[in-house]
Amino acid sequence: MNLEQFFDNYGTARVEDVARAAGTNLAYLRQCKYGARRMSADLAVKMEDASAGVMTASELRPDLPWRK
């Protein structure tokens, strides 16, 4: 699941909880969602962990060469 889908399916409160657990904030994730920012590979991995695998780093940053 990518970031846009996560926002749509889980709502603001859950997104904010995951953001906090990953060491970022809701405002930054909104910027990433709308293309104003691009999250780092490190944050993509943290978001995967914080969402318990609902979002994956490879879906959050499909432009990077992730190991399969």
Q: In this predicted model, what pLDDT tens digit does every residue of 23-33 receive, in sequence order?
A: 999 999 999 99
- Enter the pTM of the model: 0.92
Residue 23 is classified by DSSP as: T
In-domain check, residue 35: yes
Structure tokens at 45: 């991995």
Structural domains counted in the chain: 1
In-domain check, residue 21: yes
Q: Whose structure tokens read 């699941």?
A: 1
In-domain check, residue 15: yes
Q: Which domain holds residue 24?
A: 3-60
pLDDT, tens digit, 9 for 90 and up, residues 3-41: 999 999 999 999 999 999 999 999 999 999 999 999 999
Q: State the number of CA atoms in the 13 A half-sphere of 60 facing the CB.
A: 24
In-domain check, residue 67: no
